[in-house]
Structure 1
Amino acid sequence: MTSNNTPSQSGSAAAPGQRFAQFQPDPAAKAAVHAADRAHVFHSWSAQGLIDPLPIAGAEGSYFWDYDGNRFLDFSSQLVNTNIGHQHPKVVAAIQEQAGRLCTLAPGFAVDVRAEAARLIAERTPGDLDKIFFTNAGAEAVEHAVRMARVHTGRPKVMSAYRSYHGATAAAINLTGDPRRWASDTGTAGVVRFWGPFLYRSHFHATTEAEECERALAHLEETILFEGPQSIAAIILETIVGTAGVLMPPAGYLAGVRAICDRYGIVFILDEVMAGFGRTGTWFAADLFDVTPDLLTFAKGVNSGYVPLGGVAISGAIAATFDQRPYPGGLTYSGHPLACASAVATINTMAEEGIVENAARIGADVLGPGLRELAERHPSIGEVRGAGVFWALDLVRDRETREPLVPYNATGADNQPMAEFAAACKKQGLWPFVNMNRTHVVPACTVTEAEAKDGLAALDEALNAADAHTTAGAAGAAGRVL
């Protein structure tokens, strides 16, 4: 695969690949966009003077392209959110139709598309999570889920795992386990952290999934007992940990957390912002584990990010808390009509076109087997994890010691091996999702078998850059020098 590859059979339902086929390079537009960006846009999570954002001209299906005509297979789904692919014509049409009919209305009114979006989501959530509070994004969904739990229980503390990401707003960033929290963590947010299960890098000296599950649950319950169960409002977990490495919980773990929460009157929150709406080959990742939380947060895939939207699905017991008592929270754009119209179109289209089933099939038949095959050839792959179109490769220097390819939270020269790998992917026309020592394989839920195989071929080539930094690669290079 090259960055100037020919148009794919993928893309919009009406005319796959047509937009890219008609695109003409435009260096002047590229320069203008780049200049305006550098002059005025302040980018997230970045040292502004050290970045050089790539100007993008268009996108369609599983691809996007720059002004020079270089097209990239999007194996990041942007931020793991374009589940339905770029520019799906049915969703675009729904937004256009809604804009012509009713652009906006305050959240206090009953609006047809808002009610329909809530109904469609509630139909798909597990258990009795039948009331939907809409937000603008996943971080706000987490903020409000935590607020609901605290008001419902009258308790102050919330527990979250070290390997986690829950958003960048005030409460959400303090709940987050990864280093992006550090600059904002005042130590006064009422958050208690614990280690979740991760057998490949077990903190519990476990050797089997069963041991990891049992010991992780014992650790969690002991932490609760030492903190005081009566002080803990909620436990929040990503159903499948996303940004921190697509960590699949061992069998029985989530059910065990559910039982612990029930034992101590703690609200169980599942964060499905990244894993929800088809990403794992099911509507929600919770469906894979037959578990029902008290609150479930969502965003991203609910409408593939076409218009900002998130929300909280609420159980009957927690909703009843606010039957006669006002809920102390709200947003000007809660349930925005354009966002809800795009969610209705997205959910209906996913159902009509079998997109969730496609994600399951691609994961089971193409990505899972293909990634495991890559692991047999590349010494830099320590572990393959995932389901549906939600996978990660844990890259290592040494398979025996499991030393990560780069140190935790590496920057600069320490991160060079991963930087070289990412550059090699882009040279192959593949846009990766790279975080610390991991590359995530997270294409759209609409990805075709041919596209998935193209992506695997590009990864196969790019992984040679990572292999060069392994002990096996270094030994091979030394042997060649000798």
Structure 2
Amino acid sequence: MSGGVSGGRRSLSNDPSAAPLYWNGTDTAANDRAHVFHSWSAQALINPVAIAGGEGSWIWDFDGNRYLDFSSQLMNVNLGHGHPTLVAAIQEAAGRLATIGPFHANADRSEAARLIADVAPDGMNKVFFTNGGADANENAIRMARLHTGRHKILSAHRSYHGATAGAITMTGDPRRWASEPSMPGVVRFFGPYPYRSSFHSESPEQECERALAHLDELVMFEGAHNVAAIIIEPVVGTNGILVPPDGYLVGMRELCDRHGIMMISDEVMAGFGRCGEWFAIQRWDVTPDLICFAKGVNSGYVPLGGVIMSDAIAATFDERVYPGGLTYSGHPLACASAVASIGVFREEGTLHAARTLGDDVIGPELEAMAERHPSVGEVRGLGAFWAIELVRDRATREMYVPYNAAGDAAKPMNDVVAAIKELGVWVFAHFNRIHITPPCNTSHDDVRNGLAAIDKALEVADAHIA
């Protein structure tokens, strides 16, 4: 890696003499290639970077190359790497009680549930803990089906809900295809996307109205009495950072209330500060029936997810056995880190920091970038959750690479991402989009420097514009 943004960390390792013998780049790479099977990858075609450490918004490899983490890994390291409060909480919890089964009451688990319910909308007081986001969504649809006695689940075409059997069925992008046929009863709808409207809308207001009319009609054709739930990402994550027009989520809530349908808000990516709120749906003052969370609840330091349920759904299982469970439901180390994380959010003003980052830095900088680069079709987002959509032609909005591009067709996008990483910024890209999702507490200077590197790298994309 040459060039790059400045900034950083205290040292490349805290105490090299204390590291195990295998803690080196050579053994890490060799063992990875020989024994690790990676997700979403053709194994012989990848060459993972061996990461040695991280601090704050930075990660580095064993050769000392530093990267500003503009992806928060998988949009989960919301408080950055190595936050001392979270690390200490995990260490202290391990000394008290490293693990205990979910059939016991546990102080860390109970306190985490209390704090999560405290930041959730009113009337949502019970938490079922899972290991991550996919199994949170699995359990949410199980709860909705049992509560309503119905079986159909409506999910959006542009969505991602996880890779387990039910969650991948609800997912609305091509990663679902290889798992089909799968869980029955899932019906897909088109959500709002003003830039590429499926409804030929000419304004966000029109997009909202037409998207709701489409959903209402779909419910009619599927039979409202058959529909247990509608699951949505309040701000669509991997599939576009799509912020809904004002009124859309309110309209969906009204539709669900009208037909007795449960509204599930998948906040796995959008929640816990990513959009400048505890849960993104609170931005529009909407209360769903079920909230699924993971990722940012403890910045992924220990696997943790869960479902927050309405009091009405919780009451369904007061005297009826809930047919679900996990060995590590509410693992004490994970819950201790969640307790610490919520404390950090409050003490350090993380929600305000994320909102300010979006309003004062990322948004204005991306708008200026769009003016400079003909390859940029649209920029959009809020908080620490943004996307740059690249195009071949601004007038026609032709995607910079085709939908679900692979191989040679994906090379132009891969070249742009490689140029960004060469400048010392680690980004997440999906199809024709570059996502800007740094930790919520990243300094304004680091974000500006990272955006400047992306600005420079977009010259690679501009060169492909006819």
TM-score, length basis structure 1: 0.94
Matched, 1:364 2:359: yes
- Separation in structure 1 between the aligned mates of residue 197 and residue 6 of structure 2, nearest angstrom: 45
The answer for the alignment partner of 2:25 in structure 1 is: 30
- Does the CA contact (< 8 Å) of 2:169 and 2:183 recur in 1? no
Equivalent residue for 2:58? 63
Selected match of 1:49 from 39, 44, 50? 44
Aligned to 1:132: 127
Question: Counterparts of 1:467 and 1:351 in 2: how far apart (Å)?
Answer: 42
After TM superposition, list the pairs within 5 Å mapping 1:298-447 onto structure 2: 298-447=293-442
Matched, 1:20 2:7: no
1:81 matched to 2:76? The reply is yes
- Structure 2: how far apart are the matches of 1:452 and 1:312? 32
Deviation at 1:19, TM superposition (A): 2.8
Percent identity of equivalent pairs: 60
Q: 1:7 to 1:450 in 2, by over 3 A?
A: closer
Output the CA distance in 2 between the equivalents of 1:199 and 1:357.
27
Q: Deviations over 1:179-202 (max 9, x none)?
A: 000000205521000100111000
Query: What is the deviation of 1:453?
Result: 0.5
**Counterpart for residue 288 of structure 1:** 283
Separation of aligned partners in 2, 1:200 and 1:161: 17
Local SS of the residue matching 2:117: helix
CA contact 1:4–1:429 (8 Å) conserved in 2: yes
Tell me how far apart the structure 2 counterparts of residues 236 and 417 of structure 1 sit (CA, whole Å). Answer: 34
Amino acid across the alignment from 1:19: S
Instruction: Kindly indicate whether residue 190 of structure 2 is the aligned counterpart of residue 195 of structure 1.
Output: yes
Aligned to 1:154: 149
Q: Which stretch has the larger CA shift, 40-49 or 122-131?
A: 122-131
**In structure 2, C-alpha distance between the alignment counterparts of 1:82 and 1:247, rounded to whole Å:** 20
Cα distance, 1:20 vs structure 2: 3.0
CA contact (8 A) 1:4 1:69 kept: no
| Conserved? CA contact 1:164–1:241, under 8 Å | yes
Please state how far the C-alpha of 1:380 moved relative to its aligned partner.
1.0
Q: Give the distance between the partners of 2:24 and 2:91, measured in 1 at CA.
A: 26
2-structure distance, mates of 1:130, 1:414 = 49
> Residues 205 and 4 from structure 1, CA distance in 2 versus in 1: closer, same or farther, beyond 3 angstroms?
closer
- The alpha-carbon deviation at position 4 of structure 1 amounts to 6.5
Q: RMSD value over aligned CA atoms?
A: 1.6
Name the aligned partner's letter for residue 171 of structure 2: T
Amino acid at match of 1:82: V
Q: Give the CA deviation at 1:7.
A: 4.3
Taking structure 1 as reference, are residues 305 and 27 closer, same or farther at Cα in structure 2, changes over 3 Å only? closer
Separation in structure 1 between the aligned mates of residue 24 and residue 181 of structure 2, nearest angstrom: 44
1:30 shift after superposition: 1.1
User: CA 1:68 to 1:23, structure 2 compared with 1: closer, same or farther past 3 Å?
Assistant: farther
Deviation at 1:161, TM superposition (A): 0.3
SS of equivalent to 1:38: helix
Please name the residue that 1:40 is paired with.
Answer: 35
Give the drift of 1:406: 0.3
> Post-superposition, which runs of at least 4 consecutive aligned residues in structure 1 deviate over 4 A?
1-7, 21-24
List aligned pairs for 1:268-283, cutoff 5 A: 268-283=263-278
CA separation of 1:393 and 1:23: change in aligned 2, threshold 3 A: farther
| Cα separation, 1, equivalents of 2:171 and 2:290 | 18
Instruction: Deviation per CA, 1:104-148: give whole Å up to 9, x if none.
Output: 111111111101101111111123111100000000000000000
Amino acid at match of 2:43: Q
Distance 2:441 2:108 in 1: 24
Amino acid at match of 2:328: Y
What does residue 166 of structure 2 align with? 171
CA distance in 1, matches of 2:262, 2:281: 16
Q: Secondary structure at the match of 2:79?
A: coil
1:219 aligns with 2:211: no
> Which residue pairs with 1:110 in the alignment?
105
SS of 1:19 mapped into structure 2: coil
Equivalent residue in structure 2 for 1:265, among 255, 260, 268? 260
Query: For the structure 1 residues 28 and 190, does the alpha-carbon distance in structure 2 shift closer, same or farther, using more than 3 Å as the test?
Result: closer
- Take 2:128 and 2:22, find their aligned partners in 1: how far apart are those partners? 45
Cα offsets for 1:21-71 (capped at 9, x unmatched): 8799x9992111100000000000111111111111111100100111100
Segment drifting more, 124-133 vs 436-445:
124-133
Length-normalised TM-score, structure 2: 0.97
Change (3 A) 1:149 1:213: same
Aligned residue in 2 for 1:11:
none
Question: What per-residue deviation string (whole Å, max 9, x for no partner) do you get for residues 248-268 of structure 1?
Answer: 001100010101111111100
Cα distance between partner residues in 1 of 2:179 and 2:385: 29
Per the alignment, in what secondary structure is the counterpart of residue 20 of structure 1?
Answer: coil
Deviation at 1:345, TM superposition (A): 0.5
Match for 1:457: what amino acid?
A: A
Query: Residues of 1 paired with 2:4 and 2:25: CA distance?
Result: 17
Contact 2:5 2:450 in 1 (8 A): no
